[in-house]
Amino acid sequence: MLIHAGLATDGPFLRKAPRRLPYGGFVGVAIISGFVTESEDEWFSGPLGIVMERAMPLPFKRYPGQLGLFMVNREALGAWLDYASAYFPSE
């Protein structure tokens, strides 16, 4: 799963993120290992949370986002996507 940092900073959770970090593009990659419907984590706002593991930062790649999970244009990401995919070779 690619991790996208959106441009919007509305809401109590997003205001916690430091503005010195890049926004408006992909910033990392992780493996989805499960889902939860409740959690004590301050970032969980329900009703469903994605559990990720082996998260790693990647060089920033500007890319338009949208709310929730979304598909990406592989051609638009080009060599950057190949670089990101190398972190998790198919098994």
Give pLDDT, residue 12: 59
Max alpha carbon distance in the chain (Å)?
39
Give pLDDT, residue 11: 60
pLDDT at 90 over 80: no
Strand 25-36's sheet: what is its strand order?
A: 2-5, 25-36, 49-62
Position 16 confidence tier, pLDDT thresholds 50, 70, 90:
low
pLDDT at 55 over 60: yes
Give the C-alpha separation, 1 to 76, whole Å: 17
Helix (H) or strand (E) holding 61: strand 49-62
Whether 52 contacts 78, CB under 8 Å: no
Say whether 41 sits in a helix, a strand or coil. coil
Position 60 confidence tier, pLDDT thresholds 50, 70, 90:
very high
